[in-house]
Amino acid sequence: MKKKIYNSKLSYNQGKSTKAVQTVEKPYYPSTRKTPKIGRILSTTKSRRPRRHQSQSQKLLLKFLSFPWCKWMIEWIGITLLFGGSSLMAVGAWLSVKLISDPNAMVSFNQILPQWTELYISGNESLKTLEQIKSNIKEEGFSTGKTFPLPNATTNYSSDILVPVMKRIEPRGSLPCETPCREVVELRVYQSVLSVNQREGSKPYFRLVNTLPLQGPAESFVIASTIESVLAPQGSNQPLPITTVRKFQGKVPALGVWFTVSGQRLQNNKSIPYGQIINYNPARNHLSSMLKWKSAAGQAPIWQEMTGGKDPELVVEQTVGLDPDFDIYWIQPRKFILNPIELEKISLDETPIGDRSYKNALRLARNGLWSPAFPLIEPLRKNLIDKSKWSKKAQAQFDLIKFHANITEAQAIASWASPSQKVLAGLIDGRWQESLNVFENNWSSTYDIAKLLQNDTGRIRKRVDATIKVNRGEINAIAWGTLIIASQKGRRRAMLWLNRKPKTSKEAKERIEKLLDKLDAAFAEEENIQGHKIQR
């Protein structure tokens, strides 16, 4: 190798000066350690720096990926991106098919968009003005009643509307109605929407979003609780017509919009209203029939604060005569997306507290003895050690008893035109001793009181039986039970019933026998008076 280099140098310097040749002819022995040139140094430096930097990045990446949670996170990010993309493609495909198969779907889709991104719709036959809606209903053979505005949950542009659909019916004497006589067969909800044809100040467009067919309650259901219907025919199972739609005003529950649809049935010149309670849920554009009602007292349902909750309760009066009876319904949640609430009647059948006094109070209240029941239940609420046991249902029952007790007590202490009315009010309120005093001290009214007992259909007798079950030693209630049986079935049956009462003392039986003597004398005297009238 050294020889080849020397010869090349020598040949290269041929033809040069001797001095130069002598200089060049010196043998050249290259060093084993090569001296790097500047260009090579620069190129080497440039090539090594990126490699050193890349190696450090790789080491950091490998170290980062060595953690188990990092691998798990990367896998889940990948899965999320995969399924997210697939879901977006599926939703896009579904929307495409939906819009192709059902052009009206664009209307629903438009309602959920922000107002500034709403898509204007043209050429859609489902969008109509209110005049066009009425015209179409008329073409179907029906007519429209009074329309009601409804809140729009998606836009503030205009309100939705409730349209009653009505048809002509033949007037009947027992079913009073306006002229011409019409019944409501369906309720329709129309949602306000935007259309390309719509300009500022123009009439709004609507589309049908929900319908609710209506049918009145059966005739037998309406007249079942009236006193006159006890001996009269009970009516058929044919539904009675709904003739009126009314929106509740004033203080009503905040959940939705509340309506009552109603009609009237005449029974012995007495009007008995009936109908349904309707709730509209704006969030779902859904109409629901909450319950069917009728009022033996002839009063329309009202919303009234009864239990101290955030929402008032629905009160339907069923009072007949002096016996107060109010059906009270409160709002309860339920698992139903379209309408997550229901109206539940406050009942006395359940016993939320196992205390004996509480059970006795409910027994008395179920039989109409509201005033005697209230003193039994009131101390429990105050003295209950574990306050958590006093549930909302217990409070509702407490309020129901208190409400009725206030009415019966007011009737009992009121001034009445006749002693018999005074006795009836006292017996309804469970005032046994006070009522006996009136019976004993008013001879002129003895027959009227005896006739009152004879015509009792069970409302006084059930109070007597309930009182004796709670307190077997209530001798005044036993006395009234004996008088009722004697007036209806005779003295012998009455004494047999009295003798079966183990806690009746000899002195009490003697007093009751004197009352029976007075009762028999009153009936005998009346028979003599009627006999003389016949002879004349």
* pLDDT 10s digits, 449-472: 999 999 999 999 999 999 999 999
* Per-residue DSSP letter, 188: E
User: Looking at residues 171-191, what average pLDDT do you find?
Assistant: 92
Instruction: Give yes or no for a contact between 222 and 265, defined as CB atoms under 8 angstroms apart.
Output: yes
Tokens of 56: 């450090």
What is the average per-residue pLDDT within 92-115? 55
Mean pLDDT of the chain: 82
In terms of C-beta density within 10 A (0-12 exposed, 13-18 middle, 19 or more buried), how is residue 304 classed? middle
DSSP line for 138-156 = HHTT-EE---EEE--SS-S
- Identify the pLDDT of residue 35: 47
What tens digit of pLDDT does each residue of 197-256 get? 556 667 788 999 999 999 999 999 998 866 544 445 566 788 999 999 999 998 999 899
Helix, coil or strand: residue 274: strand
* Distance of alpha carbon 78 from alpha carbon 301, whole angstroms: 61
Q: pLDDT band for 154, please (50, 70, 90 cuts).
A: low
pLDDT at 509: 93
- The fraction of the chain above a pLDDT of 70, given in percent, is 74
**Domain boundaries defined on the chain:** 1-29, 244-346, 356-412, 419-535
The Cβ of residue 422 has, within 10 Å, a number of other Cβ atoms equal to: 23
Q: What is the mean pLDDT of residues 514-525?
A: 92
**Once rounded to an integer, what is the mean pLDDT over residues 407-428?**
93
pLDDT number for residue 116: 46
Q: Which CATH class is domain 244-346?
A: mainly beta
More confident of the two residues 486 and 387: 486
Q: Terminus-to-terminus CA distance in the chain, angstroms?
A: 173
Rounded mean pLDDT of 406-432?
A: 94
Pairing between β-strand 148-150 and β-strand 143-144 as defined by DSSP bridges: unpaired
What confidence category does residue 65 fall into, taking pLDDT thresholds of 50, 70 and 90? low
Q: pTM for the full model? A: 0.75
- 329-372 pLDDT per residue, tens: 999 999 988 999 999 999 999 999 888 999 999 999 999 999 99
